[in-house]
Amino acid sequence: MVQTVSTPAVIVDLDIAERNIRSMAEEARKAGIRHRPHIKSHKSVYFARKQLEAGSTGITCAKLGEAEVMAEAGIDDILIAFPIIGEDKQERLYQLAQKVKVTTVADSVEGATAVSEVGERLGRRIPLYIEVDGGIGRCGRQPGEDTLQFARRIQSLPGIEITGLLSYAGQIYGEESREEIRSTARQEAATLKNTADLLREAGIDIPVVSGGSSLSSKFAGELEGVTEIRAGNYIFHDVGQLSMGMITVDDCALRVITTVVSVPAPGRAIIDAGSKTLTTDTMPFSKGFGYIVEHPDIEIFKLNEEHGFLSYDPASVSLHIGQHLTIIPNHACVLPNLCDEIVGFRGGVPVEKIRIDARGKNS
Amino acid sequence: MVQTVSTPAVIVDLDIAERNIRSMAEEARKAGIRHRPHIKSHKSVYFARKQLEAGSTGITCAKLGEAEVMAEAGIDDILIAFPIIGEDKQERLYQLAQKVKVTTVADSVEGATAVSEVGERLGRRIPLYIEVDGGIGRCGRQPGEDTLQFARRIQSLPGIEITGLLSYAGQIYGEESREEIRSTARQEAATLKNTADLLREAGIDIPVVSGGSSLSSKFAGELEGVTEIRAGNYIFHDVGQLSMGMITVDDCALRVITTVVSVPAPGRAIIDAGSKTLTTDTMPFSKGFGYIVEHPDIEIFKLNEEHGFLSYDPASVSLHIGQHLTIIPNHACVLPNLCDEIVGFRGGVPVEKIRIDARGKNS
C-alpha cells in the first residue's frame, strides 16, 4: 500500500489499464493479427509483462536504450522501430542481439548496411523490416516500386534477412471523424499489403506486414493483409483519442492528481501541475493542456514549468485552495517518461508504485 | 573523460556556462543586488555549487522535492518559490526546515497558515515572502493595497515572519524589443518597491524585495529597490532569448547533439531527437522546435516522440545519413529534466558527466 501521494502525481488506474490490455489482445486475436505493443507509452517492465501475459508476441521499442532495459528484464523478442545509425549504435545492437531476438528497421542503404555489419559480426542474419512511409512523411521508402527497388538493393547484404514491411500512419491522429479514421486505417493496410505483394511477386518473402496504431487497431478486423500491429497508447488512452470520440473518460487509465494552490481572481486558479508534469503537447481537437475529470468545462489555458493556469466561469464553478483535481493528459505517452515511478490505483486507492524502467532512454 | 556520446545527447559547454555564471554574478554585484539563482533550469548540485562559489546567496527551488535534494547535498539556504499547500507538504517542509534555512512564499491565508503551523511545530518563525502578481496573472496578490491588506491579515500568525515581497514578471518573455524588455523590468521593480514602501510605512519591515528573471537581470543596474534576483535560465540561455536578440549563439551553453537518420525526400530529413528530448515548447519569436547551429536556415518543423522533422532548401543545404547536427533548444530549462545526466564539454570534447540530481522532482 502506498501511504502518501504528493501532488502533482502521475497515477494509473490499474483496472482500466488491464481492461485496455485485455480488450486490445482480444481484438487482435479475433482479427488473427499479432500484437507487438510499443512500450514507448509506459516504458515499464511491469506493463510490458502484463501485455505479454495477455498474448502479445514480443514488444516494440523506439530506441536501443529502451530495448536494453527490457532485455535486461528478460524480455526476449524485441523490435527496434528506429534506424540504427552510427558506430556506437552498431556496437550496442551487437551486444543486445547476443542476448535476445532483435528485429529492426531500415529505409536507407546506410541503415541496412549498418545492421548487416552487426549480423556478419554475430555470424547470423538479423531480421529486418523495411520501413515504408505510411503517409506521415517521417522515415520510410515510398510504397510500391520504390520499396521494391530498395529491397533489391539491400537483399544481398550478408548480415540481414528482410522479414517484413513496417509503416506508421501517424496522420490518422488528424482525421476528424470515425469514418475518416477507419478509411485511413484501411488505406494504410491496403498500401502495405499491395507493396508486400509486389515484393512477394518478385520473389522476396515478406512474412510480416507491420502497421497500425492504437487508433487504427480499433478496426483490426478490417486491416486485410496486416499480420502485426504495434499499438502502444491504448494501454492508457488520453485526450487525443477522447476528443476524437473514439473512447470515453472511463477508458483513460493515466491521470494526474493536482492541487489548487492559488485562486488569485474570480474564474482563475493555479494548480501545481505545469509543463514538467503534463508537457506542452497540444491536441488538434481539444483546447488547452488536459481534461479535468471533475470539471470538464474548466480550461487549462497555459502552463509554466510548475504552474498550470485554469480559467472557468465563476458563476458555475467554485474552486478552493487545497482542492484536488484529476487531469487526463493530452498525450499520455510523454508523461511516464518524466517520472521515476507512477502510482497504481485500484478503486480510487493507491496500491503500488510502478517503476518507469526505461524513462529517458532516448538514445 | 567521457568515451562515447550516443545521440540524441544533451550536452553543456562548460566554458560558456561558467562564463554565464560569472557574468551574472558580476552584474548583480555591481548593482548591489543579491542573486539567488533558480535551480529549476539545471536541477543539479554540480551547477548549484558553481553558482554559490561565484557569489550567489542561497538558491531558489520551485518545489519541495528539488529543495530536499539540494539540502541533502549540503546547500543550506533555500527559497521555495511555490505555495506550500497540503498536509504532506507541511510535513515535508517541517523535515526540511529542521536541516537547513528555508524561506517560502504565500499569497493566501490558507498558504500562510500552513507555513505558520510548521513554524509553530518547529518552535521558530519561518521566513516568508508575500507573493505579488508581477503581471503574469499566475500566483500572487495584487500590488499595493491588496498586498498590504493581506500582510495585515497574516502578520499575527505565530509561526511566520514576513521578510520580503516576491514577484515574477513572466510576460517579459513576450516583449518584442530590448526597450520593451527594459521597460517591463523597470516596471516590475517599481511596482515591487512601491508596494514594499507601502508596507514599510504601515510598520511592516520588508528587508527583501525579490524579483527578476534572466531577461530582466540584463538591466540589474536599473532595478531600483530590488534586493534579490532569481535568474535561472541565464546559465544556459536558449532560443527564447536568442530570438529576442538579447544574446548570441555563443552564449548558449546547453545543446543537443543529434544524428540524421533518414533523408526520405529532397529538402526533408529526420533526426533522432524528438519531443522526448527537445520537448514541444515553442517560442513566440522563432519558428519550429530549436535552432540548428550548423544550418540556422533548417527548420525543425515537427516533432514526434523520437523523431524530429527537418525541412530545408535542397539547393543550398545537403544532409546525409549519419551526420551530426547541434541544436540550441527553444527552452533550455525543460531539457535536463528529461535526463539522468548531461555531458559536459570543453573545447568540443566531452569531459565529464553531470548528474541531474533533482530531475523529475515536481512535487
Task: Write out pLDDT tens, residues A247-277.
Answer: 999 999 999 999 999 999 999 999 999 999 9
Same domain, residue pair B113 and B192: yes
Same domain, residue pair B75 and B208: yes
Task: Write out pLDDT tens, residues A187-226.
Answer: 999 999 999 999 999 999 999 999 989 999 999 999 999 9
A111·B262 Cβ contact <8 A: yes
**A200 φ, ψ (degrees, to nearest 5):** -60, -40
Same domain, residue pair B281 and B205: no
Whether chain B has a CB inside 8 Å of the CB on A334: the answer is: yes
pLDDT for residue A3 is more than 70: no
Last residue of a domain, one of A192, A210, A236: A236
Interface of B with A in 311-330 (CB under 8 A): 321-322
**In 3-state terms, what secondary structure has residue A257?**
strand
B7 inside domain: no
Same domain, residue pair B182 and B262: no
A241 inside domain: no
Q: What is the CATH number of the domain that holds A286?
A: 2.40.37.20
> How far, CA to CA in Å, does B92 sit from each of A68, A155, B363?
36, 61, 10
Contacts of B41 in chain A (CB under 8 A): none
pLDDT for residue A165 is more than 80: yes
Q: How many CB atoms lie within 10 A of CB B1?
A: 6
Contacts of A337 in chain B (CB under 8 A): 276, 338
Mean pLDDT over the full length of chain A: 97
Same domain, residue pair A210 and A165: yes
pLDDT at residue A121, rounded to an integer:
98
Q: Which residue of B has its CA nearest to A324?
A: B86
Distance from CA of A169 to the nearest CA of B (A): 12
Same domain, residue pair A262 and A153: no
Whether chain B has a CB inside 8 Å of the CB on A6: the answer is: yes
pLDDT at residue A1, rounded to an integer:
61
Measured CA to CA, the distance from residue B209 to residue B56 in angstroms comes to 16
Cis check for the bond before B314: say yes or no (omega within 30 of 0).
no
C-alpha cell at B197: 514602501
pLDDT at residue B4, rounded to an integer:
74
pLDDT for residue A338 is more than 90: yes
Last residue of a domain, one of A236, A271, A297: A236
Of B89, B138, B265, the CB nearest to A307: B138
Per the structure, the complete domain to which residue A86 belongs is given by 15-236
Whether chain B has a CB inside 8 Å of the CB on A149: the answer is: no
Measured CA to CA, the distance from residue B43 to residue B219 in angstroms comes to 25
**A148 φ, ψ (degrees, to nearest 5):** -60, -45
> What is the DSSP-derived secondary structure letter of residue B276?
H
Q: What is the mean pLDDT of residues A26-55?
A: 97
B262·A139 Cβ contact <8 A: yes
Q: What is the CATH number of the domain that holds B35?
A: 3.20.20.10
Q: For an interface test with A, which of B41, B261, B323 has the most A Cβ atoms less than 10 Å from its Cβ?
A: B261
Same domain, residue pair B57 and B170: yes
Cis check for the bond before B8: say yes or no (omega within 30 of 0).
yes
**In 3-state terms, what secondary structure has residue B317?**
coil
Measured CA to CA, the distance from residue A132 to residue B66 in angstroms comes to 44
Same domain, residue pair A223 and A321: no
Distance from CA of B271 to the nearest CA of A (A): 10
Whether chain A has a CB inside 8 Å of the CB on B92: the answer is: yes
pLDDT at residue B212, rounded to an integer:
83
pLDDT at residue A4, rounded to an integer:
74
pLDDT at residue B334, rounded to an integer:
98
B274 inside domain: yes
Task: Write out pLDDT tens, residues A343-357.
Answer: 999 999 999 999 999
pLDDT at residue A341, rounded to an integer:
96
Same domain, residue pair A230 and A144: yes
**B308 φ, ψ (degrees, to nearest 5):** -110, 140
Same domain, residue pair B26 and B166: yes
| Total tally of structural domains belonging to chain B | 2
> What is the DSSP-derived secondary structure letter of residue B125?
P
pLDDT at residue A212, rounded to an integer:
83
Same domain, residue pair B220 and B266: no
Same domain, residue pair A63 and A121: yes
Q: What is the mean pLDDT of residues A317-335?
A: 97
A284 inside domain: yes
Residues in chain B where the model's pLDDT stays below 70: 1, 3
A275·B264 Cβ contact <8 A: no
B323 inside domain: yes
Task: Write out pLDDT tens, residues A101-140.
Answer: 999 999 999 999 999 999 999 999 999 999 999 999 999 9
